Amino acid sequence: MSLWRRKQAVLEGGDAGGNEKPGRRPRSTSLAVRPIPDDALILVPLRSAVLFPGVITPLAVGRGSSVAAVQEAARQGRKVGFLLQRDPKTDRVGADDLHWVGTAGEIVRYVPAAEGVHHLAVQGQSRFRATEFLDGWPFLVARVVWVPEATEGGEAIEARFLQLKAQSIEAIKLLPNVPDELAGAVQAIDSPGQLADMVANLLDIENEEKQAVLETFDLQQRLDRVLEHLAGRVSVLRLSKEIGDKTKKEFDERQREHVLREQMRQIQKELGESGDTAAELGDLEKSLEAAGMPDETLKHAKKEFKRLARMGEGSGEASMLRSWLELMAELPWKAEAQKPVDIAEARKVLDADHHGLEKVKRRILEYLAVRKLNPEGKSPILCFVGPPGVGKTSLGQSIARATERKFQRVALGGLHDEAEIRGHRRTYIGALPGNVLQALKRAESRSGVLMLDEIDKLGMGGFHGDPSSALLEVLDPEQNSKFRDNYLGVDFDLSRVMFIATANVLDTIPGPLRDRMEVIQLPGYTEEEKLQIARKYLVSKQLEANGLQAAQATVTDAAIREIIASYTREAGVRNLEREIGAVLRHAAMQIAEGEARTVGVDAGDLQAILGARKFENEVALRTSLPGVATGLAWTPVGGDILFIEASKVPGSGKLILTGQLGDVMKESAQAALTLAKTWCGDALEKIDIHVHVPAGATPKDGPSAGVAMFVALTSLLQGKPVRPDVAMTGEISLRGLVLPIGGVKEKTLAALRAGISTVMLPKRNEKDLDDVPAEAKAKLNFVFLEKAEDAVRAALQ
Ligand SMILES: Nc1ncnc2c1ncn2[C@@H]1O[C@H](COP(=O)(O)OP(=O)(O)OP(=O)(O)O)[C@@H](O)[C@H]1O
Ligand SMILES: [Mg+2]
């Protein structure tokens, strides 16, 4: 306590010209101080720095007492001890305000200032611990004991030392603004203690933590401490470099063309070929004039061109302007004369590319006919909706072929930024036009077919503006003759482009967009249709892709059927095409190796080529026990079957539901159970009923599994299994009425794919069977349900 008071007095004396202690010298004369004992050090408190041995560091001192301390030490040629303050905000520090372990160092450079801050360079030398603070000087003085540098060796130390070295070199390489020599310096350090100190000094950690390192005298512990901090730092650095690289890559790609052009110009200049620039400019001017843009636009472009011609070589703005003018010259401004569409010819092309799809083809031809009769009229935008692999994209290509137009595709899936559609303003570095204009430039035509693929996966608008509103403008016949891309900055006429959109589902297409389009559904194919598609199109396509002649390899119908039933489960034909490709690749191998001249593939060969069947008849397997019913579900990728599994466990009458069911589905399970209890009249107080809908990763919701739940529960309670060839769909009311549901067509096709022969539907859905292909109807029995009991009667064995 007394120590503290005395100290306080000294400091005040030092800073403000003493007053408390009679006989104390004022600061101005403090040079003639009494001698400092040999085992004591002049001290300088540091607000926010820790000095380590072996480190040279700049320091600034401003407080009167500190300045006096430094001056006195310099005068006497003594070392100075540096101690970290506990609180950087304390101005007048005493013993209790300081850490007592510090580093003594030599002042290697001192730049005094008349007033204010004095600058020092200090070389840290040795650790010490203060043992007693002394008074009588206008600065801090304390007796100290020296802490010798630990020099112990051994494997544990050596291992940590190497680790620390490796990590610090990695960190140095990852840091953006560190000179490479530092890595060399670190490499050269051969004392573990010194390396730990040096790294701790460089690390971006709190001063308190640095102080903790300084106070860790045990070498192994000190190394561990530093290693821990460094490891954390390195992983952050790695991550930030990764992020930096990624952003840089994106940026680089945009910039690449820009930079290359710039370099090319510089090289030409160096080679004295800059005469070409004049010629180049001349060419650019000519192509601008020849591009066929509207007069107003041309005027604007020429004005910009003149600006470019006046501009110095190589300025950033010049190259930006040049890229813009080049785009202006390349865009397809001209309206090329369209050959009137020959509808009969178009029909042939559509038939040649796609099997079946009668309704769809008819609708496409109508659309073409209307366009033919009234080319200037505003025709609707077609939107093909259906599961993957049903031919949406390839139909678009056929339409282009049928009408002799260029085809281009714009992928909209996952677009979040309005600028992707409408472009960035030209003043941005690396700005580009939006992808609608880019597609037109690629097509070299403004009356081609532009496919807006995956319009249902368009991202929500966010921070960067809503892409769907930009798309609205593109598709709106009232607006799109004056479409304005941010980059282009002038109107471009999109009214002659034939837009066709595709989507897997309708629901996620933003409402206003959906209203602009005419939706054409492609529901998926039956097994028979798939067989025809494979025979007529897919096999020959894959023969060609694998370099085979039709005579060299054949695939029997039985083999194709087997692929459809056991190796694929899909509404479209994409996997079917892939598996046929695999089969034919196998044939090509055999022929290439000279094992055979022709290869015929039959159903029996498939296991050897494609491996074990992927989709066995699951239904029979699953429904062999009481409590399992086969339901029918609608999913965005077509219909599918799903199993409802119910079982009894000892309990207290609870209903347990698992399998990621949505709220509506849970409620319909409750309703089904209530109904099943009334129906079976069972006492269920001593058991819990567990209902599970497998394939837990797909969330399921909707009321249409009600009938299947009721049947599963009844089957469980009565101990009778459900017939394996029956699948069902329908909502139930608490009073046992069966209510209608949606997606009848998709569900029916899914049942057929799964080998089901009887489909049970709500009576009120009977009319929806009109949409189901006749071939599917012919193969299925339908049971129409009015009451839930009807389902039980027909389904239980
Ligand atoms: N009716 C058909 N006749 C002939 N080939 C077809 C038919 N339907 C689809 N195909 C072929 O199936 C393949 C997949 O079709 P496509 O790529 O057009 O599917 P998609 O509907 O666009 O699917 P996604 O939604 O996954 O984009 C193509 O090779 C296509 O030619
Ligand atoms: Mg597609």
Average pLDDT over residues 527-556: 90
Cα–Cα distance between 390 and 387 in angstroms, integer? 6
Q: Is 722 in contact with 630 (CB distance < 8 Å)?
A: yes
CA distance 162 to 154: 12
User: Distance (Å, rounded) from C-alpha 497 to C-alpha 450?
Assistant: 7
Q: In this structure, what DSSP letter does residue 35 have? A: P
Q: What does the pLDDT read at residue 300?
A: 92
pLDDT at residue 174, as a whole number: 81
Question: DSSP secondary-structure letter at 563?
Answer: I
Task: Considering every ligand atom shown, identify the ligand nearest to the alpha carbon of residue 504 and give its number.
Answer: 1
User: 453: CA distance to ligand 2 center in Å?
Assistant: 7
Q: How crowded is the C-beta side of 679, counted as CA atoms within 13 Å?
A: 25
CB 650 within 8 A of CB 688: yes
Q: Examine the pLDDT at 625 and tell me if it is beyond 80.
A: yes
Q: Which structure tokens are listed for 727?
A: 């699948």
pLDDT at 250: 65
Q: Taking 60 as the threshold, does the pLDDT of residue 274 lie above it?
A: no
Residue 217 to residue 209: CA distance in whole angstroms: 14
CA atoms of 526 and 776, how far apart (whole Å): 7
pLDDT above 60 for 19: no
Is pLDDT of 28 > 50? no
Residue owning tokens 């290693």: 227
The reported pLDDT for the residue numbered 117 is: 81
Higher confidence at residue 151 or residue 531? Answer: 531
CA 388 – ligand 2 centroid, Å: 7
Convert the pLDDT of each residue in 308-349 to its tens digit: 887 766 667 787 888 899 999 999 998 877 778 888 999 999
- CA dihedral angle for residue 621, residue 622, residue 624, residue 626, rounded to 10 degrees: 180
Query: C-alpha dihedral over 462, 467, 468, 472, to 10 degrees?
Result: 140
- How far is the C-alpha of 200 from the C-alpha of 49, rounded, in Å? 12
Instruction: Over range 784-791, report the average pLDDT.
Output: 93
- Look at residue 27 and tell me whether its pLDDT is greater than 60: no
**Would you give the DSSP letter of residue 768?**
G
Q: How confident is the model at residue 247 (pLDDT cuts 50, 70, 90)?
A: low
Enumerate residues lining ligand 1, CB below 6 A: 354-357, 388-394, 502, 504, 533, 537, 572-574, 577
Mean pLDDT of 355-375: 87
More confident residue, 284 or 176: 284
Q: Is 134 helix (H, G, I), strand (E, B) or coil?
A: strand
Atom of ligand 1 nearest to the CA of 504: 25
**Residues in the chain, overall count:** 797
pLDDT confidence tier of residue 251, bands split at 50, 70 and 90: low
Report pLDDT for 461: 58
What atom of ligand 1 comes closest to residue 357's alpha carbon? 1
Q: Hey, what amino acid is at 600?
A: G
Give the position, in ligand 1's atom list, of the atom nearest the Cα of 390: 21
Residue nearest ligand 1's atom 27 by CA:
388
Of 398, 537, 543, 575, which is best to mutate to test ligand 1, by the most ligand atoms within 8 angstroms of its C-beta? 537
What is the Å distance from ligand 2's center to 393 Cα? 4
Atom of ligand 1 nearest to the CA of 387: 25
User: H/E element holding 639?
Assistant: strand 638-650
What is the rounded CA–CA span in Å between residue 791 and residue 420? 53
- The letter for the amino acid at 408 is Q
Nearest to 708 by CA among 779, 767, 659: 659
Mean pLDDT of 262-286: 71
Distant-in-sequence, close-in-space partners of 354: CB < 8 Å, separation ≥ 6: 361, 391, 394, 395, 398, 537
Task: Report the SS3 class of residue 660.
Answer: coil
- Distance (Å) of CA 80 to CA 115, 302, 639: 21, 74, 83
Using one digit for the tens of pLDDT, what is the confidence trace for 43-70?
999 998 999 998 888 888 888 889 889 9
| Interval 69-75 mean pLDDT | 88
Rounded to an integer, the average pLDDT of 550-573 is 89
Residue whose CB lies within 8 A of the most ligand 1 atoms, among 393, 397, 509, 521, for a mutation test:
393
Q: What would the mean pLDDT of 397-417 be, rounded to a whole number? A: 88
Band (pLDDT 50/70/90 cuts) for residue 212 is very high
Catalytic residue IDs? 704, 747
Residue with the larger pLDDT of the pair 526 and 312:
526
Closest residue by Cα to atom 2, ligand 1, is 354
- Out of 285-299, 606-620, 621-635, 647-661, the most confident range is 285-299
In this prediction, residue 732 has a pLDDT band, given cuts at 50, 70 and 90, of very high
The Cα–Cα gap between 139 and 41 comes to 11
Q: Which of 364, 382, 394 to mutate to test the pocket of ligand 1 (most atoms within 8 A of CB)?
A: 394
Residue 656 contacts residue 647 (beta carbons within 8 Å) = no
Q: How many CB atoms are closer than 10 A to CB 77?
A: 8
Measured from the Cα of 536, ligand 1's closest atom is 4
366-386 pLDDT tens trace: 988 888 888 777 778 899 998
Among 306, 82, 118, 88, CA closest to 201: 82
DSSP string for residues in 500-543: EEEES-STTS-HHHHHTEEEEE-----HHHHHHHIIIIIHHHHH
- Which ligand gives the minimal distance to the CA of 523? 1
The share of the chain scoring above pLDDT 90, in percent, equals 33
CA 587 – CA 547 distance, rounded (Å): 11
Supply the pLDDT for residue 791: 92
Q: How far is the CA of 390 from the centre of ligand 2 (A)?
A: 8
Between the CA of 560 and the centroid of ligand 1 the distance, in Å, is 17
Mean pLDDT of the chain: 84
Per-residue pLDDT at 731 = 93
Distance 403 CA to ligand 2 centre (A): 20
Per-residue model confidence (pLDDT) at position 620: 66
The fraction of the chain above a pLDDT of 70, given in percent, is 89
Amino acid type, 413 = G
Q: How far is the CA of 577 from the centre of ligand 1 (A)?
A: 9
Q: Which of 745, 741, 754, 751 is nearest to 773 (CA)?
A: 745
Confidence band for 478, pLDDT divided at 50, 70 and 90: confident
pTM above 0.75, yes or no: no
Nearest atom in ligand 1 to 353's CA: 4
Closest CA to 574 of 498, 504, 501, 631: 504
Report pLDDT for 743. 87
Average pLDDT in the 663-670 region?
Answer: 88
Question: Which ligand is closest to the CA of 389, given by its number?
Answer: 1
Extract the tokens encoding 136: 């009588």
pLDDT digits over 566-609, tens only? Answer: 888 888 899 999 999 999 999 988 888 888 888 889 988 888 88
Q: Please tell me the residue having the least CA distance from ligand 1 atom 15.
A: 391
The pLDDT of 17-25, averaged and rounded, is 36
Residue 22: which pLDDT band, with cuts at 50, 70 and 90?
A: very low
Q: Which residues contact 594 (CB under 8 A, 6 or more apart)?
A: none
Q: What local confidence, expressed as pLDDT, does residue 272 receive?
A: 63
Q: Is 179 helix (H, G, I), strand (E, B) or coil?
A: coil
The CA radius of gyration of the chain, in Å to the nearest whole number, is 41
CB 760 within 8 A of CB 783: yes
Residue range 404-427: mean pLDDT, rounded: 86
- Categorize the per-residue pLDDT at 419 as very low, low, confident or very high, splitting at 50, 70 and 90: confident
CB 500 within 8 A of CB 450: yes
Other Cβ atoms closer than 10 A to 425: 12
Judged by average pLDDT, the poorest of 74-83, 210-219, 307-316, 422-431 is 307-316
**Rounded-to-integer distance, Cα 794 and Cα 758, Å:** 10
Strand partners, 411: 453
Q: Which residues lie across from 629 on neighbouring strands?
A: 644
Using alpha carbons, select from 498, 529, 492 the residue that is nearest to residue 753.
529
What number does the ligand 1 atom closest to the CA of 356 have?
A: 1
Report the alpha-carbon distance of residue 415 to residue 456 in Å, rounded: 11
* pLDDT higher than 90, residue 612: no
**Hey, what amino acid is at 168?**
S
Report residue 254's pLDDT band, with 50, 70 and 90 as the boundaries.
low
pLDDT bracket for residue 3 (50, 70, 90): very low
Say what the pLDDT of residue 359 is.
87
Residue whose C-alpha is closest to residue 395's, from 363, 439, 425, 371: 363
Atom of ligand 1 nearest to the CA of 529: 1
Alpha-carbon span 260 to 628, nearest angstrom:
66
Beta-bridge mates of residue 483: 492
Dist CA 342 CA 345 (whole Å): 5
Q: What's the gap in Å between 375 CA and the centre of ligand 1?
A: 29
Which three-class secondary structure state does DSSP give residue 647? Answer: strand
Q: Under 8 Å CB-to-CB from 81, ≥6 apart: which residues?
A: 41, 42, 43, 44, 102, 103, 104, 128, 130, 142, 144
Distance 386 CA to ligand 1 centre (A): 10
Ligand nearest to the CA of 394: 1
Contacts of residue 106, defined as CB under 8 A and 6 or more positions apart, other chains included, come to 79, 80, 122, 123, 125
- Report pLDDT for 20: 34
501 C-alpha to center of ligand 2: Å? 10
